[in-house]
């Protein structure tokens, strides 16, 4: 079969879509072979070879030489094979080039469907590969579709689709088609039909990237975000550290009259953010992590377990609504924190011991 016009059109398509001509021709060959087999209900083992330079499409049927034929479409007896060529032996394969007859509408449609599917997959994979370096980055997207499970967000100039599953949606946020929002690119997975870009509004990385946008000192590495603990839509605790003693880490993140932190809070729909100075001393770190509550003392209890004592009137603030403040402080520090009021028996004993030790030190 000779069709140079077909191959010229194919070359134009390949150039336009920016895909591999070799991969496309291989897919087309497989599609034609598949369509032929479907048209003729299985039949012989068919391979198709496409030569773009010569402009030819070659169909080839393969049969194997056997002692006794059980499938005449795929096998040929030794006797018949040796009539073609006396040198044929059992196990040899005989290839015959042929021009298909009645390669009709159904076969052509099948080939077209497979080609279009491959074209779509190739375009998608090429676009996804461009997003591979976007993993862990912040992007602006437009909500294009919402179904019972997912929110679909259009990303980038090529308007590729990102998926926001339920666990990556903020419970307090309402999503509507057409809304623009910033999302964290959580994962880029390119694997054929399962290719997918997963985006998130709940990821800790979203908070980190928003602060990098607002705080030049973070983007430059002068101020470092050490840890983030977040309950999306409600509260975030972020531990920071300055690598330059001349730079106030907390002040840099808060900004003039709170401008920087307020910009992040606004993007997060009013989510509260506690900015805490990181400390390599875990007990001192716990002391700060329970902010905004006043803490009287923090004492190590067991391995990675501590008791924090707070004034009686600050107990509810230290624990937080439904235990949120203490829970986030524990996640931030990596320690189990038992918050006690100063009047509790256990706290009173600890405070008394501390006072006694302080008195002994003063006496010395």
State the virtual CA torsion across 338, 343, 346, 349 in degrees, nearest 10: 130
Give the range among 37-41, 105-109, 187-191 with minimum mean pLDDT: 105-109
Neighbour-count burial of 176, counting CB atoms closer than 10 A to its CB (0-12 exposed, 13-18 middle, 19+ buried): exposed
Quote the pLDDT of residue 281.
Answer: 96
Q: Is a pLDDT exceeding 60 seen at residue 100?
A: yes
> Residues 261-308: pLDDT tens digits?
999 999 999 999 999 999 999 999 999 999 999 999 999 988 899 999
Quote the pLDDT of residue 190.
Answer: 64
HEC per residue, the chain = CECHHHHHHHHHHHHHHCCCHHHHHHHHHHHHHHHHHHHCCCCCEEEEEEECCCCEEEEEEEEEEECCCCCCCCEEEHHHHHHHCCCCCCCCEEEEEECCCCCCHHHHHHHHHHHHHHHHHHHHHHHHHHCHHHCCCEEEEEEEEECCCCEEEEECCCCEEEEECHHHCCCCCCCCCCCEEEEEEEEEECCHHHCEEEEECCCHHHHHHHHHHHCHHHHCCCEEEEEEEEECCCEEEEEEEECCCCCCHHHHHHCHHHHHHHHHHHHCCCCEEEEEECCCCHHHHHHHHCCCCCCCEEEEEECCEEEEEECHHHHHHHHCHHHHHHHHHHHHHCCEEEEEECCCHHHHHHHHHHHHHHHHHHHC
Quote the pLDDT of residue 252.
Answer: 97
More confident residue, 185 or 37: 185
* Cα–Cα distance measured from residue 336 to residue 340, given in angstroms and rounded to the nearest whole number: 13
Instruction: Give whichever of 74-88, 110-124, 151-165 has the largest mean pLDDT.
Output: 74-88
> Residues 300-331: pLDDT tens digits?
988 899 999 999 999 999 999 999 999 999 99
Quote the pLDDT of residue 48.
Answer: 87
Instruction: Give whichever of 99-113, 193-207, 237-251 has the largest mean pLDDT.
Output: 237-251
234 in Cβ contact with 245 (< 8 Å):
no
Q: Is a pLDDT exceeding 50 seen at residue 363?
A: no
Mean pLDDT of the chain: 87
> Residues 17-71: pLDDT tens digits?
666 778 778 888 888 888 777 777 666 788 888 888 888 888 888 999 999 998 8
> Residues 202-257: pLDDT tens digits?
999 999 999 999 999 999 999 999 999 999 999 999 999 999 999 999 999 999 99
What the chain holds in terms of domains, given with CATH numbers, is 4-129 (3.30.1480.10), 140-200 (2.40.50.140), 203-278 (3.30.300.20), 283-364 (3.30.300.20)
Quote the pLDDT of residue 108.
Answer: 66
């Amino acid at each position: 079969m000779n069709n140079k016009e077909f191959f010229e059109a194919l070359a134009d398509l390949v150039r336009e879509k920016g895909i591999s001509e070799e991969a496309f021709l291989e897919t087309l060959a497989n599609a034609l072979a598949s369509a032929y087999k479907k048209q003729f209900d299985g039949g012989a083992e068919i391979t198709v070879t496409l030569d773009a330079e010569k402009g030819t499409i070659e169909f080839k049927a393969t049969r194997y030489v056997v002692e006794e034929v059980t499938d005449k479409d795929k096998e040929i007896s030794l006797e018949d094979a040796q009539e073609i060529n006396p040198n044929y032996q059992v196990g040899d394969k005989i290839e015959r080039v042929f021009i298909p007859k009645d390669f009709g509408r159904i076969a052509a449609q099948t080939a077209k469907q497979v080609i279009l599917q491959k074209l779509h997959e190739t375009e998608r994979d090429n676009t996804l590969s461009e997003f591979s370096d976007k993993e862990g980055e912040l992007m602006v997207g437009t909500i294009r579709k919402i179904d019972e499970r997912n929110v679909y967000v259009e990303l980038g100039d090529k308007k590729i689709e990102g998926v926001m599953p339920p666990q990556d949606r903020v419970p307090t946020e309402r999503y509507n088609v057409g809304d623009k929002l910033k999302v964290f690119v959580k994962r880029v997975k390119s694997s054929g039909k399962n290719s997918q870009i997963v985006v998130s509004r709940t990821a800790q990385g979203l908070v980190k990237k928003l602060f990098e946008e607002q705080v030049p000192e973070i983007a430059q590495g002068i101020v470092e975000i050490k840890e983030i603990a977040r309950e999306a839509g409600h509260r975030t605790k972020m531990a920071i550290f300055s690598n330059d003693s001349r730079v106030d880490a907390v002040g840099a993140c808060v900004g003039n009259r709170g401008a920087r932190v307020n910009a992040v809070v606004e993007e997060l729909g009013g989510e509260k953010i506690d900015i805490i100075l990181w400390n390599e001393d875990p007990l001192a770190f716990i002391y700060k992590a329970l902010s905004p509550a006043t803490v009287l003392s923090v004492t190590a209890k067991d391995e990675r377990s501590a008791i924090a004592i707070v004034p009686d009137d600050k107990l509810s603030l230290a624990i937080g609504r439904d235990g949120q403040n203490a829970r986030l402080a524990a996640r931030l520090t990596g320690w189990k924190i038992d918050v006690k009021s100063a009047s509790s028996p256990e706290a009173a004993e600890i405070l008394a011991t501390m006072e006694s030790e302080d008195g002994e030190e003063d006496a010395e």
